[in-house]
Amino acid sequence: MRSLGALLIVLAIFIAVLFGAAEPLGGVMYELHPPLVSNLQMLIQRWVSPWLWDHVCMPVLAAPAWAVLTIIGILMILIPSLIERWRD
């Protein structure tokens, strides 16, 4: 899990350089695969909750892609350490 977190941080740097630091995650996803965002919206609104799409997914998609990936990567690095400390 830690290696995947580190990989996400490297990917965040790559995306910031390639797409620009201000490019939102939704824009990057659209550039890479145009139907992905609309399919994801349909799936979440229909099968999970419209509230989740409006209040969680939309702000995440509007945030800079590098920031979202960096936060997820840091969490993936830190959470296993916190779990190990909690078990001891």
Q: What is the pLDDT along the chain (88 residues), one digit of tens a residue?
A: 889 999 999 999 999 999 999 999 999 999 999 999 999 999 999 999 999 999 999 999 999 999 999 999 999 999 998 888 888 6
Q: Which phi and psi (to 5°) does residue 42 adopt?
A: -60, -45
**46 alpha carbon, distance to own chain's centre:** 21
How many independent structural domains does the chain possess? 1
Domain that residue 62 falls in = 2-87
How far, in Å, CA of 41 to CA of 52, rounded? 10
3-state secondary structure of 63: coil
* Contact between 12 and 65 (Cβ < 8 Å): yes
